[in-house]
């Protein structure tokens, strides 16, 4: 199906003029650069912690004993956790234009492990130059397409499966905000996702601006201790892929355009299913990545989530 999705604050459209309106470049898990990928995964028990105001979903942190990996350089991340009847895992692989991975959790009755969960988070960043003759300096709405193929499943009384996506441009001014797309909570039938999403991104014509595509999978319990046999799985092994730029509009009128990665050279106007390999020219660096990964992998709002009906999040 084709959905026109507006991602609230993530893709909030604001009136902008000129390059001064752009926000700071995206930084994710120590990724420093203009084009490239990032990958992180974490699995294990959760624990209480103070919320980070820059991240929507992290009032509970993974704690010592969890297995967490952050490896933007390879762009893969894998983790696994086992303690008694509790197992959890997270895995992801990403390239410019394609992301795949999974998260899983299972636990027996009355586990002493608090908030067991599996988590993965990955995506790509590129600097995109949208060009249109005669429209330089004007604010444009760029309609981008993302193909999503995934399966979410749950069983037991206290589990949630979530698949979050974030697609944002530097011009939107909100690179740190994310919006949940799909979620089910036990008891619920498996949710099979086969969507083509059309998302609106703001860009200034003729001004290079970074854009981000990010995918986060969470398989988790929804209470601090599990009082039943529970399983939760999120799989997007069939990948989430770039579907190209559908159109560019200026003041509501469609215009002729090109959309090329200013650093990568990728023609983002075209759809593709095969990932574009990274080259040595793509700058990557690791900062203090692991603490951020642990913080971001939080499981906030678990009590509120128990009250939600089993359904994919609004999109």
Q: Convert the pLDDT of each residue in 41-81 to its tens digit.
A: 989 887 544 333 333 333 346 777 889 888 777 899 999 99
Q: What is the pLDDT of residue 298?
A: 35
Judged on CB neighbours under 10 Å (0-12, 13-18, 19+), 279 is exposed
Residue 295: which region, alpha, beta or left (left: phi > 0; alpha: psi -120 to 50)? alpha
Q: What is the pLDDT of residue 208?
A: 94
The overall average pLDDT reported for the chain is: 75
> Rounded distance, CA 123 to CA 216, Å?
9
The domain locations on the chain are: 2-306
Cβ neighbours of residue 246 closer than 8 Å, sequence gap 6 or more: 143, 144, 145, 198
Q: What is the pLDDT of residue 241?
A: 94
> Rounded distance, CA 315 to CA 30, Å?
30
169 has pLDDT over 80: yes
Q: What is the pLDDT of residue 281?
A: 35
- Least confident range of 19-33, 184-198, 287-301: 287-301
Handedness of CA 122, 128, 132, 134 (dihedral sign): positive
Q: What is the pLDDT of residue 101?
A: 94
DSSP string, 210-235: EEEEEEEEEEEESSSS--S-EEEEEE
Q: Cis omega before residue 187 (within 30°)?
A: yes
108-150 tens-digit pLDDT:
877 778 788 899 999 999 999 999 999 999 999 999 999 999 9
Which residue has 């971001």 as its token pair? 296
Q: How large is the average pLDDT for residues 17-34?
A: 57
Q: Considering the entire predicted model, what is its pTM?
A: 0.78
Give the Cα-Cα-Cα angle 41, 47, 53 (nearest 5 degrees). 75
pLDDT tier, 187 (very low <50, low <70, confident <90, very high otherwise): confident
263-287 tens-digit pLDDT:
899 999 999 876 665 543 333 333 3
């Amino acid at each position: 199906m084709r959905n026109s999705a507006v991602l609230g604050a993530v893709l909030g459209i604001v009136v902008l003029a000129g390059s001064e309106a752009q926000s700071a470049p995206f930084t994710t898990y120590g990724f420093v650069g203009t084009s490239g990928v990032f990958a992180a995964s974490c699995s294990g028990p959760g624990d209480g912690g103070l919320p980070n105001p820059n991240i929507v979903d992290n009032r509970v942190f993974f704690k010592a004993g969890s297995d967490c990996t952050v490896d933007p350089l390879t762009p893969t991340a894998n983790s696994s956790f086992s303690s008694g009847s509790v197992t959890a895992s997270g895995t992801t692989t990403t390239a410019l234009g394609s992301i795949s991975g999974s998260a899983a959790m299972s636990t027996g009755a009355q586990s002493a492990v608090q908030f067991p969960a599996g988590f993965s988070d990955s995506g790509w960043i590129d600097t995109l130059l949208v060009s249109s003759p005669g429209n330089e300096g004007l604010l444009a709405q760029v309609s981008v397409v993302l193909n999503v193929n995934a399966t979410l499943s749950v069983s037991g009384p206290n589990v949630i499966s979530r698949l979050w996506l974030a697609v944002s441009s530097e011009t939107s001014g909100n690179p740190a905000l994310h919006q949940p797309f799909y979620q089910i909570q036990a008891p619920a039938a498996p949710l099979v996702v086969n969507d083509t999403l059309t998302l609106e991104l703001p860009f200034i014509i003729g001004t290079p601006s970074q854009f981000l595509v990010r995918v986060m999978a969470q398989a988790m319990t929804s209470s601090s201790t599990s009082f039943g046999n529970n399983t939760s799985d999120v799989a997007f092994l069939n990948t989430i892929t770039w579907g190209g730029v559908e159109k560019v509009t200026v003041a509501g009128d469609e215009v002729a355009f090109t959309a090329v990665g200013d650093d990568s050279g990728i023609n983002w106007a075209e759809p593709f299913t095969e990932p574009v390999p990274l080259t040595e020219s793509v700058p990557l660096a690791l900062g203090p990545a692991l603490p951020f990964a642990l913080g971001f992998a939080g499981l906030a709002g678990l009590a509120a989530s128990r009250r939600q009906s089993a359904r994919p999040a609004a999109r």
